[in-house]
Amino acid sequence: MQSFNVRCGHLSGRFSYPGVMEAAYGKGGYYLLSLLQFMYPFLAMISYNVVVGDTLSKVLVRFVPAWGSSMGMVRFGVVLVVTIFVVIPLCLYKNVSRLAKASFLSLACVVLILMAVVYRLLSGDYSVVPNTPESWRFAHSDLIPAVGIMAFAFMCHHNTFLVYQSMQNATMERWEKVTHFSVGFAWLVAALFGIAGYCTFRALSQGDLLENYCWDDDLMNFARVLFSVSILLTFPIECFVSREIVRTQIKRFYSHEVVEYDTDKDPSHVTGEEDDRKSMITTLVIVFSAFIISPYTECLGPVLELNGLLAAIPLAYVLPGLAYIQLSPHSLFSQEKLPAAGLVLFGTIVTISGAAILMPNLIGDCRTGIIMGYCKDDERALNGTVFVASTLDPNCATDKM
């Protein structure tokens, strides 16, 4: 799917996702893509804030139990601190290539978290987790909306050209090798997380797998810190995309013509000095907008599903396929276009059917800061926490792992 984006870039001579859509479908395609392309990373930034706040607040309460009586303030303070001292400095970089070392550190954190999850499964420390009639049920009615979560997790098409332009000697062959290896590795890691996590907690598995582990589990508290680090190092990439979309729209509005961001002929020849002051202001507005909205959002499971269905799947499957079908000189039913047509059909079916299933259940009973019933008695003594016996509303899922 990313290969379709880059191929369309070469076919149209427009090395940006909005530029490709404009070359294929005019201004209508351009503005639709720009809206979706901004909405997806911005909502992701909000979800990252909420996840980091929930995750790190549990670690802090482990060391200062009295803070358990005001978890809302603790979450707000955590997000404020990391926004000012971590997120903003990283987001003020001009080029995504400057985050190469940070991306490697984020990847290392994910691998260490996976090792901790697998170790807890093999150690049997959570063998007290009760079985239920739903424990080994293969599929549920929310299977199709769950595709939205998977699309949300794997959707990186809004970053495609930013990453492609940061490569030295970028070619289709090198790009395909990089994407196939990276997506394949991501799939393997996600599968291992899913298998190990579900085998440990079965029907009680939450959307954020780390929510299932007890608050006095110091190994998993360390994993929570690593997860937060990984999330914070991913945050700037989403911010870069949002910033570029906003900057492009502002330039286009005032110039009434296609701006340079849309018309780069070759990613190895990108030129031009950026207005540092305007870039900083745009970055700060986007980051603080996400920060202000995040305290009002707790139940992220259905929201992420909706974002995946209405933004991630169209961005990942429908629009790249439609652009390739329009730009490719081959006939519609040719061998070259059939994969693109299949992606469009798949994305359309999943989006419509998933939204139809999800919308009636979008608003549910969601609780945060809960302690699972199989955790130790001393955890229940934490001030202000909520004890949950053996069941959990699936709508309480907060995020993906």
Q: Which residue has the higher pLDDT, 192 or 140?
A: 192
- Residue 321 near residue 350, CB atoms below 8 Å: no
Is 396 part of a structural domain of the chain?
A: no
Nearest to 11 by CA among 324, 230, 336, 351: 324
Phi–psi pair at 372, nearest 5 degrees:
-70, 150
Residue 88, pLDDT score: 94
Which tokens in the block code for residue 158? 């809004």
Nearest to 132 by CA among 205, 194, 193: 205
Measured CA angle at 97 (ends 164, 175), to 5 deg = 25
* Calpha distance 131→192 (Å, rounded): 21
349-384 residue pLDDT tens: 988 888 888 777 665 555 556 777 888 554 444 444
- Residue tagged 């549910």 (tokens): 364
Is 388 part of a structural domain of the chain?
A: no
Which tokens in the block code for residue 277? 């002051």
Structural domains counted in the chain? 1
**Whole-prediction pTM value?**
0.76
Residue 381, pLDDT score: 43
CA 210 to chain centre: 16
- Residue 87 near residue 235, CB atoms below 8 Å: yes
Helix, coil or strand: residue 371 = strand
Helix, coil or strand: residue 14 = coil
Is 385 part of a structural domain of the chain?
A: no
Residues present in the chain in total: 401
* Calpha distance 151→304 (Å, rounded): 10
Which tokens in the block code for residue 255? 């110039």
- Rounded to the nearest integer, the mean pLDDT of the chain is 79
Q: How far apart, in Å, are the Cα atoms of 53 and each of 95, 193, 228, 295, 312? A: 27, 22, 9, 9, 24
202-215 residue pLDDT tens: 888 887 788 889 98
Q: What percent of the chain has pLDDT above 70?
A: 79
Is a pLDDT exceeding 90 seen at residue 399?
Answer: no
Phi–psi pair at 15, nearest 5 degrees:
-95, 60
Is 287 part of a structural domain of the chain?
A: yes
- Residue 352 near residue 318, CB atoms below 8 Å: no
Which tokens in the block code for residue 197? 């996590």
- Residue 385 near residue 373, CB atoms below 8 Å: no
| Cβ neighbours, 10 Å, residue 342 | 12
pLDDT band at 257 (very low <50, low <70, confident <90, very high): low
Is a pLDDT exceeding 70 seen at residue 223?
Answer: yes
299-353 residue pLDDT tens: 666 667 778 888 888 988 899 889 989 998 888 788 888 888 998 999 999 888 8
Is a pLDDT exceeding 60 seen at residue 269?
Answer: no
**Alpha helical stretches, state H, 64-171:** 71-82, 88-91, 100-123, 143-154, 160-166
Nearest to 212 by CA among 222, 227, 200: 200
Is a pLDDT exceeding 50 seen at residue 168?
Answer: yes
Task: Please state the rounded mean pLDDT for residues 105-120.
Answer: 94
Task: Please state the rounded mean pLDDT for residues 286-304.
Answer: 81
Q: Which residue has the higher pLDDT, 259 or 163?
A: 163
* Calpha distance 264→4 (Å, rounded): 18
Which residues partner with 371 through β-bridges? Answer: 387
pLDDT band at 148 (very low <50, low <70, confident <90, very high): confident
Nearest to 6 by CA among 176, 243, 168, 152: 176
Is 397 part of a structural domain of the chain?
A: no
Is 393 part of a structural domain of the chain?
A: no
Task: Please state the rounded mean pLDDT for residues 144-163.
Answer: 72
Which residues partner with 387 through β-bridges? Answer: 371
The residue ranges of DSSP E strands in 107-260, in sequence order, are: none
Which tokens in the block code for residue 57? 């607040």
Is 386 part of a structural domain of the chain?
A: no
- Residue 208 near residue 51, CB atoms below 8 Å: yes
Which amino acid makes up residue 246?
Answer: V
Structural domain range at position 267: 1-376
Residue 247, pLDDT score: 86
Dihedral of CA atoms 226, 227, 228, 233 in degrees, nearest 10, equals 90
- Residue 57 near residue 253, CB atoms below 8 Å: no
Is 28 part of a structural domain of the chain?
A: yes
